[in-house]
Amino acid sequence: MSVERVWELIARKLAGEASESELKELDSLLKANPNLHFPLQTITDLWQQKRGADQTELEAAFQKHLRRMQEQGISFAGANAEIEEPATYHLTDHSRRRPWKFIAAAASVLVAGSLILHFSRSSTLEKVRTVAEKDPGSTSEIVTRNGSRTRIKLPDGSTVWLNAGSKLNYDKSFGVKLREVTLTGEAYFDVVRNLEVPFLIHTHRIDVRVLGTQFNVRSYPGESTEAALVKGSIEVSLLNDQSGKIILKPNQKIVVDADSTTHSTKPKLPSRWKDEDQVSIQQLTIDRRDGTTLETAWVENKLAFVEEPFIDVAKKLERWYGVSISFSDPKLEWIPLTGSFTKENVSETLYALSVAIPFKYSFTDSNTIVIGK
């Protein structure tokens, strides 16, 4: 795969200059390389934000990010093709730069700035580890804000996809006797197998122990906690209770309800678990329309839910789009919703849902939404 070609196709798409064959080519590249979906969405979001800015402000931001890239030695193929040496570029100088070529350079610069601020690139993680080495008691922390998702590489080579509104912590001792992390929010793990150094994930409700596998853990405050196994084997235990442990098989998940209620058949569990928490073992949920596994759909940049209460869907929308949602009519909160969205913005998503069930929505500002009848 040519990195330069990917940049060119993305830039042409943003500029509205891509032909039908080029759009098909980009779609094929995205299907073959799913890791490109998140960078593409990031570029699109950033470009739309900058496009609406004041021209002088936009140009100043462009030059600032360009200098920042040059100072830090950051190289992006799409930018290098146009920016061969330090210079001043004018955003309105269309005689020197075709729109799609400008976007290829500007988008790469914008993404570079975004990566530095929000994403855990390998260089950023290296800086974090260097700090940890200087301070024996230090802890590395990776945070994703609402409206963003990221992929990180841990020191042992394991890969973690961190969903919106999530936080992952680990300290300097990671990989010595244990590979130990603490998660708030949601993450998908692809853990490098190491029989001698187990991988342990702490959440506010459960601990997950693994040797090497692929699985998803969701543990947002105030919501049910889940561990969903895709491949391999994991051992789950309740926090501060090591007397009962559950071994999950592939395509199974364990759910610890936040409100001590459950809507599925409970398995045979240790008696102490039944007294303290409502716990259930369930099969992973498959969307029959397209075969998507709901528990891990977000890793593929897809927002999906099946028969979920509107109140729970609203929380997902808040994190996915970086908005705030409230209900003026509490009766709407418990209406079950089903949907699957990839490229839609929050307005398009709400409109599609409002067609399926009767409700109205309004924006009190750009990031605050009220839902009612």
User: Could you tell me the CATH number of the domain that includes residue 274?
Assistant: 2.60.120.1440
Take residue 13 and report the two structure tokens written for it. 């798409």
**Highest mean pLDDT (candidates 100-114, 187-201, 260-274):** 187-201
* Residue 358 and residue 273 share a domain: no
pLDDT, one tens digit per residue, over 29-72 is 766 665 565 556 556 655 555 555 555 555 555 455 445 544 54
280 and 132, same structural domain? yes
> What type of residue is 313?
V
- Look at residue 344 and tell me whether its pLDDT is greater than 50: yes
**Is the same domain home to 175 and 311?**
no
- 133 pLDDT exceeds 70? no
* Contacts with 216 (C-beta within 8 Å, 6 or more apart), sequence order: 186, 187, 188, 189, 226, 227, 228, 230, 295, 296, 299
Among candidate residues 233, 264, 287, the one where a domain is terminated: 287
Based on the domain organization, do 17 and 152 belong to the same domain? no
Is residue 161 classed as helix, strand or coil in its secondary structure? strand
Last residue in a domain, options 118, 147, 178: 118
> Could you give the CA distance from residue 369 to residue 333 in angstroms, rounded to a whole number?
14
Helix (H, G, I), strand (E, B) or coil at 246: strand
- Structural domain span for residue 13: 3-118
Same domain (yes/no): 57, 143: no
Q: What is the DSSP letter of 103?
A: H
Closest CA to 342 of 290, 307, 267: 290
- Is 276 domain-assigned? yes
Do residues 149 and 91 share a domain?
no
Instruction: Looking at the structure, tell me whether residues 226 and 177 fall in a common domain.
Output: yes
Are 86 and 154 in a shared domain?
no
Assess whether pLDDT exceeds 80 at residue 363: yes
Q: What percent of the chain has pLDDT over 70?
A: 64
CATH number for the domain spanning 333: value is 3.55.50.30
Domain contains 199: yes
Are residues 242 and 150 part of one domain?
A: yes
Residue 297 lies in a domain: no
> Looking at the structure, do residues 264 and 307 belong to the same domain, yes or no?
no
- Count of structural domains, the chain: 3
pLDDT of amino acid 110: 44
> What CA–CA distance (Å, rounded) separates 304 from 286?
10
Q: Which long-range contacts (CB under 8 A, 24 or more apart) does 24-27 make?
A: none
Final residue before a domain boundary, out of 69, 103, 118: 118
Mark whether 247 and 339 lie in a shared domain.
no
Decide if 296 is inside a domain.
no
pLDDT of residue 281: 92
354 occurs within a structural domain:
yes
Under DSSP, is residue 333 helix (H, G, I), strand (E, B) or coil? helix
220: which residues sit within 8 A by CB, 6+ positions away?
Answer: 165, 166, 184, 185, 186, 315
Same structural domain for residues 257 and 308? no
Q: Which residue has the tokens 């994403």?
A: 119
> How sure is the predictor about 335, in pLDDT bands with cuts at 50, 70 and 90?
very high
Q: For the segment 227-270, what is each residue's pLDDT rounded down to a tens digit?
A: 999 999 999 998 766 567 889 999 999 999 875 433 343 444 44
Task: Report pLDDT digits (tens) over 81-107.
Answer: 333 333 333 334 433 445 555 555 555
Mean pLDDT of 200-227: 92
C-beta of residue 164 within 8 angstroms of C-beta of residue 319: yes
Whole-number CA gyration radius for the chain: 23
Contacts of 31 (CB under 8 A, 6+ apart): none
pLDDT at residue number 126:
34
Query: How far, in Å, CA of 221 to CA of 204, rounded?
Result: 8
- Kindly state the average pLDDT of the residues 349-356: 91
Q: What is the pTM for the complete model shown?
A: 0.60
In a domain, 295, yes or no: no
**Residue 156 neighbours by CB distance under 10 Å:** 13
Interatomic CA distance for residues 205 and 369, integer angstroms: 31
The answer as to whether 292 is a domain residue is no
In a domain, 231, yes or no: yes
